[in-house]
Structure 1
Amino acid sequence: MKIHDSLNSAARFAASRWRAAGLEGRKEEQQLWARVNVYRDFISATGQVYLFEDYLKRLAPPPSAHASTALETRKDAANSQKAMEFLLKDFNETLEPEQKRSVLLLIHQVNFVADTGQLDTCEDYINNRLDYAPLAIAHFATRDEAEAWLKGTAEPPSPSFILIGDEYYQAVYTREDNARFIYRDYIIEPYIGELTAGGIPTTPPSFGTRAEAEAWLKDHPASPFDFVSIAGEYYFAVHHKRLQRHTLHHVASALTKWEEMKKAAEQEKAEDAAAESEGEDE
């Protein structure tokens, strides 16, 4: 089974356990199942899927259910330790082989984060992922620079968001066939649409030029994002802590794209409903 399939299978298993715990009113267990699935999200968002696959291959056969010593010695990793204790207990109590394999993979995800020294970064991701803008792992001034990086890196992080100028792109590399490509991803537009629906501040920081805005943001980082005005136009400033930089997204253009995306989604939904109706009539 390919690594992406294995990760998705384990995620579906955790989601089913999360739903069952919720239906039965086991709130603490439900929260733990939600948490253990975010380790997979962190590995994917940071483009480390193939690194995780290599990590699994290096484990002594047969891979066993155990907690990493790196996790055990960390006094500030209480949440990850609690998640690990929960998973080890579930592994011992699970009898069905396929389900047991899913729990084991969830265990290895936590161990991978601990063994690679990423507990602090992962904890920050888990605690703030709903408040931060989508995580980008690299920035390039031009698409040519991004393409050169993608082609020149032996195994680039994949799949992962990158920034080209102020725009989000998805960088994709597949180990199986060495395919590499980049495409524009309109991931920030929904954020801007939802936040502007609540109202743009009436007196946002105002600047005459972009250079002035960037200089101010360097000393006053958005936390993690904020609205600013440049030459009378609203912009959405996003602080990319990992990259130590800001991007500036033109609000009016983003809202136009967001409306186009919503209309396209509604059209697709209507077409699917019509196709389903026709199938029932036949």
Structure 2
Amino acid sequence: MTTLSDLADAHPVIGRRWSPDQSSEQKRILCLARDALDFIFATGQRYDFEDFFKRPDARGLPRRGGTSELSERMDGTKRFFEKVRGEPELAEEVAQSQAILDAIQYIESTGQQEAFAAFQQQVESNDPPFVVASFDTREAAEAWLANHPHPPDPASVLIANEFHDVVYDRETNLRRLPRSRALKWYLEELVEKEQPVPVASFETLEEADAWWRAQSEPPGWAWVRVGGQIYMAAYYPNIQHRALFPLSLARPG
């Protein structure tokens, strides 16, 4: 049975086939495989995924929904890794390829192609780390976690616009919300690639927040200046949440 650990260990088979001069088609295939693995982690579907593959008929279940374009790309990715599985460069690539095939099978058979396509778009746009929920206070987040019949794991949530991990162990019913450094790492990597250029300037956070909330079709993120500081205005379409993150979070420490 393929487990979440198998998904985590599957990335090397993608990395060994990635090259700067690869065709655009191979790049699309490898990106889809990577995103399929990451989608299950980001959306906290550890137990759902593992329970799905406890079913004896799991790998034979039909596809549910999805656009023809995405279905074709998923089919192309499956053919690619079926070939890799049959002719692996290394013995461990058999299990790694199967994990990718199972990730795609799970997404298709559970009817999550639309959510997966949206996730791919967020990855392509280099949007802030994915979150499954947002809360104004720690108390509200803890109440949500305590009363959730099936908490997402692993996953991230925002609490007063600060990142926290969701930790849930089904056997012991352990439930925790430790702080996460995912946003700090993301911002550090982003500013290494490009110089932040604000698209708007404001005197106060309240003005910046009002402007960001007034955008009818906001991008996943944009830089703004508030007083003398740079902020990232972020939009999470999956939960309809907008946030302002200070770039100072990327500083060492």
Ranges in structure 2 where 5+ consecutive residues have no aligned partner: none
Distance, in Å, in 1 between the alignment partners of 2:184 and 2:132 is: 19
The 1:200/1:100 distance shift into structure 2, 3 A limit, reads: closer
Larger RCO: Structure 1 or Structure 2 (Cα < 8 Å, ≥ 6 residues apart)?
A: 2
Residue identity opposite 2:45 in structure 1:
Q
Q: State the partner residue of 1:182.
A: 177
2:33 aligned with 1:40, yes or no? no
- TM-score (ref. length: structure 1): 0.74
Residue identity opposite 2:4 in structure 1:
H
Q: State the partner residue of 1:3.
A: 3
Q: Is the 8 A contact 2:220 2:235 kept in 1?
A: yes
Identity of aligned residues (%): 26
Residue identity opposite 1:76 in structure 2:
E
Question: 1:88 pairs with 77, 82, 85, which one?
Answer: 82
Question: 1:110 pairs with 92, 99, 104, which one?
Answer: 104
Q: Is the 8 A contact 1:200 1:227 kept in 2?
A: yes
CA RMSD of aligned residues (A): 3.2
Q: State the partner residue of 2:116.
A: 122
The 1:34/1:222 distance shift into structure 2, 3 A limit, reads: closer
Distance, in Å, in 2 between the alignment partners of 1:139 and 1:168 is: 9
Q: State the partner residue of 2:162.
A: 167
Q: Is the 8 A contact 2:129 2:186 kept in 1?
A: no
2:79 aligned with 1:79, yes or no? no
Residue identity opposite 1:129 in structure 2:
V
The 1:67/1:30 distance shift into structure 2, 3 A limit, reads: farther
Q: Which is greater in Rg? A: 1
| CA displacement 1:54-81 (0-9 Å, x = unmatched) | 1111242xx65x583337x842322112
Q: Is the 8 A contact 1:165 1:247 kept in 2?
A: no
Ranges in structure 1 where 5+ consecutive residues have no aligned partner: 261-282
State which drifts further: 101-110 or 85-94.
85-94
| CA displacement 1:143-183 (0-9 Å, x = unmatched) | 11111111211220111110011111111112233222111
Distance, in Å, in 2 between the alignment partners of 1:34 and 1:238 is: 23
Residue identity opposite 2:103 in structure 1:
Q
Q: Is the 8 A contact 1:45 1:159 kept in 2?
A: yes
Alignment of 1:137-152 (within 5 A): 137-152=132-147
The 1:2/1:104 distance shift into structure 2, 3 A limit, reads: closer
Q: State the partner residue of 2:223.
A: 227
Residue identity opposite 2:166 in structure 1:
A
Q: State the partner residue of 2:252.
A: 259
Deviation at residue 41 of structure 1 after TM alignment: 0.6
Deviation at residue 104 of structure 1 after TM alignment: 3.1
Question: 1:245 pairs with 210, 228, 241, which one?
Answer: 241
| CA displacement 1:216-261 (0-9 Å, x = unmatched) | 2123254221222335543221111212121112233x14xx312x
The 1:84/1:195 distance shift into structure 2, 3 A limit, reads: closer
Q: Secondary structure of 1:234's match?
A: strand
Distance, in Å, in 2 between the alignment partners of 1:98 and 1:251 is: 41
Q: Is the 8 A contact 2:64 2:109 kept in 1?
A: yes
